[in-house]
Homo-oligomer: A and B are copies of this chain.
Amino acid sequence: MNGNTFGRIFRLTTFGESHGPGLGGVVDGCPAGLELSESDLQKALDERRPGRDGRGGSASTHRKEEDRVRLLSGLFEGKSTGAPIAFYVENKSQRPEDYDALADIPRPGHADLGFLVKHGLRDHRGGGRASARETLCRVAGGAVAEKFLQTHGIRLAACVLEFAGIAAIPEDIPGARSRPWFCPDGRSFELWEKAAQAAANEGDSLGGKVLVEIRGLPPGLGEPVFDKLDARLAYAFMGTGAVKGVEIGSGCGAARMKGSEHNDRMVPADPVGEKLCLLPGGAPYAFASNHAGGILGGMSSGAPVLVTASVKPISSIAKTQHSLNLRGEMTDLRIGGRHDISALPRIVPVLRAMAALCAADFLLLQRTARI
């Protein structure tokens, strides 16, 4: 794994800055024979687009980002050929002049100083490589991964679990895809909307939590001792901008449980309904609870995989801030431009994509586990 490449077999390499010509990526290692089209990627990208159809509500800006994706390689007659699949999205409607005042002041909460110190120079326009626009490459790559997972009966779902301290009930995670705010119930998004408007009025920003679920993952996926399924998910999620905490199953709550509570008992499963996990002898099994979040010893257990990400409030706020400039003087800082109130709900499809990339890679690695 490298700075701009994710995965060992199913690998995504991305490029592009918010104010350069465009952004894109290369999916290498996608198996041949996968039906794929530009509209598969476009649909996924549309879900993270800001200001659209009320999904993001007041949390996201009204910037018009019409991200049209083009597939540049790797397909023949509608199917993947095994060659790298490249995609590209041109940048449009960028306003670099919004950022000119910021060249000299590292914005609190941002990567500005880090890049400057690391590289000796930085592209200050819109965060450059650190812009949230970078995540569209994750979404496009994840769409390829998810298409591959679907051919193996693996299904992902993702939702906002909490916003501004207001928790939703995850009663219908798959349904969140068609609700405002990727809300897993029919109510909480109205409260979230109000909280977002209030924060907007204050010139402030808000954070929250996202839950991603993977169903249908065969047991045994993951590569202990280091490259465990939970390790890689944590890597993928924590490596997504604004995420400051990652939890598997009961997560941090597990620290306060007893072993007798946390251990998920295996129980016989009823062979009706959805695809069952089988013991080596053929008997179907399930778990009486899922505190482990579907991962035991770093490998999928057969239960749904559950990952929660805690997302910090957006660092670019309208309120005046007081911080150092590059000459070491305290300065008042006003961040112009059009900024979201929160990375939620737009981060939902991004984290879903990262989970898909993890699952696709481990599914392929699994094929090498036996002689």
Contact = CB atoms under 8 A, between A and B. Distances in A.
Contacts of A327: 279, 281, 283
Interface stretch (A42-50, A54-62, A228-236): A228-236
Contacts of A85: 15
A84 interface: yes
Interface in A116-144: 116-123, 128-130, 134
Interface stretch (A171-179, A182-190, A242-250): A242-250
Given A13-B28, A279-B327, 12 more contacts: A3-B29, A6-B226, A24-B72, A109-B264, A113-B301, A113-B302, A115-B220, A115-B299, A230-B239, A251-B310, A263-B317, A283-B324
Nearest to A226: B6
Nearest to A287: B108
A271 to B, nearest CB: 11
Interface in A66-85: 70-76, 79-85
Interface in A283-300: 283-285, 291-293, 296-300
B111 A15 contact: no
Nearest to A232: B235
Interface residues of A, number: 165
A9 interface: yes
A321 interface: yes
B239 A225 contact: yes
Nearest to A258: B204
A154 interface: no
A16 B279 contact: no
B8 A26 contact: no
B260 A204 contact: yes
A162 B117 contact: no
